[in-house]
Amino acid sequence: MPDYDLQDPTDLDIMRGQFDMYTADDWQEYIDIAEERGMGYKNINILKTAQRKAGIAKFLSPKVINWILSLVEQLDSDEEE
């Protein structure tokens, strides 16, 4: 995952755009995978928050969006291996 500057408006727009590409169904798939792998309740809860806020990234803080996108990347990279 690229290293985003949370103070840069351009990076924030890119992060929000990436977050908004996922639907609630996509988030449910990630939640299921995370539960199977026992990723911990904090990570699973933040993915559930992402599911509730699917398509409306403007209501999440940049730090939360960054955390969620890093989890997605981690889950995706684990799937490929």
Is residue 79 scored above 90 in pLDDT? no
pLDDT of res. 4: 85
pLDDT of res. 3: 83
Question: For 62-77, what is the mean pLDDT?
Answer: 93
Decide: 21 and 63 in contact? Cβ < 8 Å.
no
pLDDT tens, position by position, 16-58:
999 999 999 999 999 999 999 999 999 999 999 999 999 999 9
pLDDT of res. 78: 73
7 burial type by CB count under 10 A (0-12 exposed, 13-18 middle, 19+ buried): exposed
Q: What are the boundaries of each domain within the chain? A: 10-80
Task: Retrieve residue 61's tokens.
Answer: 């803080």
49 burial type by CB count under 10 A (0-12 exposed, 13-18 middle, 19+ buried): middle
